[in-house]
Amino acid sequence: MSSLIVDKCYYTQLALHSLLQLNGQHQKDILSLKDINELQATCNFLTPELIFVNEDCFTSDATSGHALRAVIDAHPGTLFFVFISKENLNYQNYVPIRKNIIILSKSIGTTTIYQLIAHNLHLSRTGETEQSLDLTPVSLSRTESSILKMWMSGLNTQIISEHLNIKQKTVASHKGNIKRKVKTHNKQAIYHVVKLTDILTSGMFVGRVQPLRPASEPDEFTVPFG
């Protein structure tokens, strides 16, 4: 099986090559590609285990974003690592937004990304579970989704509480839950993760409320931001 890297940074490519080889992949099975078009063409004849993509390769134009989303949809068994390129976000973590998509910072610790790579390669070969990593995709409640949309549009806690007819303390609690789920207290980092999620998927998962029946799989709703 192969791994593909779409990142213009030579040092990122070098580091990923090293981590992948440490996890048992052969050098010949690790390919560095120049853009999303080349990725799409390569995936027409390969089914890679891992794909690493820098956001700079698809956020500059809508066509590349649509092309990457098509690749993701066509390869549900491939794990996509999407790197945030903006260093000023001060984000140093990872967020699974689907079972096969993880958004992460280039500032993340080498040990963590090594574990993420090892986790996927281990699963694909043995079917066992790695207990030390939480790869559950982010899922918001409907209230959290509403609050996130208003919060990202610039409304403060007081206005949100008045609009939803809930206490400010409750709004603050929901905000805290959102921060915990996206693994950051940085509002701009949260906005950026949501923006990338909307490009790559139909939006953040929003849980279905079914008080009379057991909870089922979450519905997908787009959380739009303009």
Q: State the CB neighbour count (10 A cutoff) for residue 10.
A: 9
pLDDT exceeds cutoff 70 at 137 = yes
The pLDDT of residue 88 is 74
List the alpha helices (DSSP H) in 36-167.
36-42, 62-74, 110-126, 142-152, 157-164
What is the predicted pLDDT for the residue at 217?
A: 40
Least confident of 69-78, 123-132, 196-205: 123-132
Query: DSSP string spanning 61-77?
Result: -HHHHHHHHHHHHH-TT
- Segment among 110-114, 206-210, 211-215 with least mean pLDDT: 211-215
**What is the average pLDDT across 28-51?**
95
pLDDT band at 222 (very low <50, low <70, confident <90, very high): very low
The pTM score is: 0.86
What average pLDDT does the segment 60-82 reach?
96
**Mean pLDDT along residues 138-152:** 95
Q: What is the mean pLDDT of residues 79-98?
A: 90
H-run or E-run covering 103: strand 101-105
Residue 89's pLDDT is what?
82
pLDDT in tens, 17-34: 999 999 889 999 999 999
The pLDDT score that the predictor gives to residue 221 is 35
